[in-house]
Amino acid sequence: MHKWGVKLNVASLLLLVLFVILGILMLFPLYALILASLKPATELFRYGLNVRWDWALMSFENYKSIFTGTGAAGNYFIWYKNSLVITALFTVLSLLFSSMVGYGLGVYRFRGQNLIFTLVLVVMMIPMEIILLPLYELTIKLKLINTVWGVILPFIVAPLPIFFFRQFAQGLPKDFMDAGRIDGCKEFGIFFRIMVPLMAPAFGAIAILQAMNSWNNFLWPLVVLRTTEQFTLPIGLASFVSPLGNHYEELIAGAVLAIVPILILFLFFQRFFISGLTVGGVKG
């Protein structure tokens, strides 16, 4: 037993060292990006992204340019606000409707259930580029071009969240539903009052994934949005590099600030994230 205990301790120590090294490697680009945001663009041209500390070159001038709205960064916080609004609306609506669809497919039994779920899996396999043109034509017909809803509506009910919620819902105890019906609760009441609290880990995991997808979404907002004032943050940051001039200082500083909302979201929901992914992955 003593030898087995020693082996387990050594294995745990090696795993810890491995994960520490992997964590450092994962954080290294972020560290280099933060350092680059404190340096002038000439330093970037000379050495690229690097970890050289030079106190004579480092300053907060790049962030000052963004916060004061001077130069190319004049619309930065307008883009930031647009991204926050779109991400918040998209995440909330996606969680609401995707959870209802996934819950219905996972809990209830009805004719055509397997066919609908198969169609969900098929849609999950279709690349975005294939449906881009039909979605664009539909958005034009609905007169949603250059609007927040034009960015949000086509992807509110996505196949991946539906699949995940279905897998999670299949592992929920059915006794709670029966108890709710005995107490006179309607099906919507059972879902919102009883099952949604039980699905909190799934909501936490999907909230992070959907918010991150919406926050980083570049292609579809680029197609739908026309005016500079309607741009989201990824499009706005991309506009810092153009044939008319390159503004790498504002681009890198803006990219660092763009990380903050997702970081806060992950810290807030991290206790649900791992449990939601693991439980949802083994149920069903």
For residue 66, being part of any structural domain is answered with no
Tell me, yes or no, whether 157 and 257 share the same domain: yes
Which pTM was predicted? 0.84
For residue 43, being part of any structural domain is answered with yes
pLDDT digits (tens, 9 = 90+) for 96-106: 999 999 999 98
For residue 65, being part of any structural domain is answered with no
Tell me, yes or no, whether 102 and 211 share the same domain: yes
CATH number at residue 270: 1.10.3720.10
Q: What is the arithmetic mean of pLDDT over 100-124?
A: 89
Tell me, yes or no, whether 53 and 10 share the same domain: yes
User: pLDDT at position 9, please?
Assistant: 77
For residue 249, being part of any structural domain is answered with yes
For residue 144, being part of any structural domain is answered with yes
Tell me, yes or no, whether 116 and 229 share the same domain: yes
Query: What is the domain extent for residue 23?
Result: 2-59
Tell me, yes or no, whether 34 and 152 share the same domain: no
Tell me, yes or no, whether 151 and 98 share the same domain: yes
Tell me, yes or no, whether 40 and 75 share the same domain: no
Tell me, yes or no, whether 172 and 254 share the same domain: yes
Q: What is the arithmetic mean of pLDDT over 266-274?
A: 73
Mean of the per-residue pLDDT values of the chain = 84
Could you say which of 59, 86, 103 is where a domain stops?
59
Tell me, yes or no, whether 201 and 272 share the same domain: yes
pLDDT digits (tens, 9 = 90+) for 138-152: 999 999 999 999 999
Tell me, yes or no, whether 212 and 272 share the same domain: yes
| 283 confidence band (pLDDT: 50, 70, 90) | very low
Tell me, yes or no, whether 162 and 38 share the same domain: no
Q: Output the DSSP codes for the chain.
A: -HHHHHHHHHHHHHHHHHHHHHHHHHHHHHHHHHHHHTS-HHHHHHH-S-----TTT--SHHHHHHHHT-GGGGGHHHHHHHHHHHHHHHHHHHHHHHHHHHHHHHH---TTHHHHHHHHHHHHHS-HHHHHHHHHHHHHHTT-TTSHHHHHGGGSS-HHHHHHHHHHHHTS-THHHHHHHHTT--HHHIIIIIIHHHTHHHHHHHHHHHHHHHHH--HHHHHH--SGGG--HHHHHHTTEETTEE-HHHHHHHHHHHHHHHHHHHHHHHHHHHHHHHHHHH--
For residue 226, being part of any structural domain is answered with yes
Tell me, yes or no, whether 51 and 85 share the same domain: no
pLDDT digits (tens, 9 = 90+) for 160-216: 999 989 988 888 888 888 888 888 888 888 888 888 888 888 898 888 889 999 999
For residue 83, pLDDT over 80 is answered with yes
User: pLDDT at position 7, please?
Assistant: 59
Number of domains in the chain: 2
Could you say which of 34, 59, 84 is where a domain stops?
59
